[in-house]
Structures are given as C-alpha cells and as structure tokens.
Structure 1
C-alpha cells in the first residue's frame, strides 16, 4: 500500500483563511469579556471608595498611630 504525497502547496494560505479570523474573533471576545467582568467592576469599586475617602482624616489617623518618622503626633 502506497501512501499519497501530502499537499504542501498553498497549505499555509488555506489554513490561515480559517485560523486568522477565528483567532481575531476569539481575542476580541476575550478582551470584551475581560473588560466587562474585571475592569468595569474594578473602576466602579475605586470610584465608590474615593467618593467617601477623606485623605486628611486618614493622614491624621496614621500620624496619631505613629506610622510616620518625620511627623510627630499632635499633643492634645
């Protein structure tokens, strides 16, 4: 039994016609899923956190706790 020779001419172009659009579509789909399941909720969480965040209050709490070496706690 003799095996037929494989067709090599034009094989890359033939495979790319299917694989290139499939890879492009999957990459776009993955990027959209990542955007709406990871980045958008993260941006909303950051916005919610900084809506009520008071940097001066946080600084004073850390200063009172003695976190900073160059800032002495305020004597009351």
Structure 2
C-alpha cells in the first residue's frame, strides 16, 4: 500500500486546530472561575468595608504626606 501524500497536512491541521481550540477554552474557563471571580469577590469585600478618611488619617500620622497637616 502506498502512503497517502495528498491532503495529509490538511487532516493533521484540522485535528490540531480542534485540539488547540478545546485547550484554549479550557484555560479561559479555568482563569475565569479560579482567578477572575475570586479577585472580583476580594475587591468587593475590600471596598465594602473601606473607609478612605480613616486610611488617610493613618497615613497622615505615619508622615507619608508632607503637605497635609
């Protein structure tokens, strides 16, 4: 039997494109649920309890601001 030489790269390319597409969407889903969602939740918690004036007063007492007295 003779080896197949026509359309061989196209068949391999199609197989690898499907695999690359699947792996890419898997990575996107992992990042969305493992990183982005937790980061949004952490930011929401931080800003829910954040008091900017209290933070400003602490920095002023520490001497970070030279122009504020």
Q: Shorter-chain TM-score: which interval? A: 0.7 to 0.9
Q: Hey, what does 2:10 align to over in structure 1? A: 13
Instruction: Write the mapping of 1:2-41 to structure 2, written as runs, cut at 5 A.
Output: 7-41=4-38
Deviations 1:21-53 (A, max 9, x none): 111011001100111011101110110011000
Query: How many residues get paired?
Result: 69
User: Any gaps of 5 or more consecutive residues in structure 2?
Assistant: none
Match of 1:46 among 17, 24, 43: 43
User: Any gaps of 5 or more consecutive residues in structure 1?
Assistant: none
TM-score, normalising length from structure 1?
0.79
TM-score, normalising length from structure 2?
0.86
CA RMSD for the aligned pairs? 1.8
Q: More helix per residue: 1 or 2?
A: 2
Shift of 1:60: 1.0
Whole-angstrom CA distance in 2 between matches of 1:29 and 1:57: 43
Shift of 1:11: 2.2
Whole-angstrom CA distance in 2 between matches of 1:55 and 1:8: 70
Asked if 1:57 is matched to 2:61, the reply is no
